[in-house]
Amino acid sequence: MPETIAVPDLPVTERVALDPQTTALVVIDMQNDFVSPGGSLLVPDAAATVPLIAGLIDQARAAGARVVFSQDTHRDGDPEFAIWPVHVLEGGWGWEIVEELRPRPEDTVLRKPRYDAFYGTPLDHLLRQWGVRTLVICGTVANICVHYTAASAALRWYDVVIPRDAVSALDPFDLAASLRQTTGLFAGRVTTAGGVVFGA
């Protein structure tokens, strides 16, 4: 018999004003296999977040904040395919970042082999080189790659901000559970895409 669990109240910060010189926007895995019709591991709500993420990217670029894209990257025989269907094979259509969010030359794109965008990438090195102390993290999937990147950031003492409507999940429960961990264990702030302000 299914068990009903009440979702605890989640603190949501209405407005988060950020210094663009010490803030980076990190866009997690907005790739065709997760976002676009025909993708091999389609996240139901991911496409709906694209306009909100595009708005965050535009705002960050205009303010001079760093924009970082993670690009989940696998090859044939990856051990992860024992857990998930084959997805984001390097060089294929499903691996590409969706056209609406196409990175610009001044953005940073990091290919990552696992859930965490810090694992096996130079992300921490780059952030420290840039003087970044706060990460605004959006994208997909809420309780997997977004969550583990946020956790890894918090363990390194970065401030974490999650615009909840710019994050998608395979199930609403997964999103709620991840956001609760963000505000609790990570001491992060949850807001909305409209609540993120790069500048005073």
Catalytic residue among 29, 33, 107, 159: 29
Active site residue 29: yes
Residue with tokens 């965490």: 116
Token digits of residue 25 = 């926007």
Give the H or E element holding residue 67.
strand 66-72
Active site residue 171: no
Catalytic residue among 33, 112, 116, 138: 112
CA 89, 90, 96, 97 dihedral sign is: positive
Active site residue 112: yes
Catalytic residue among 78, 116, 138, 145: 145
**Residue 189 contacts by C-beta under 8 Å, 6 or more apart in sequence?**
13, 16, 159, 160, 161, 162, 183
Catalytic residues: 29, 112, 145
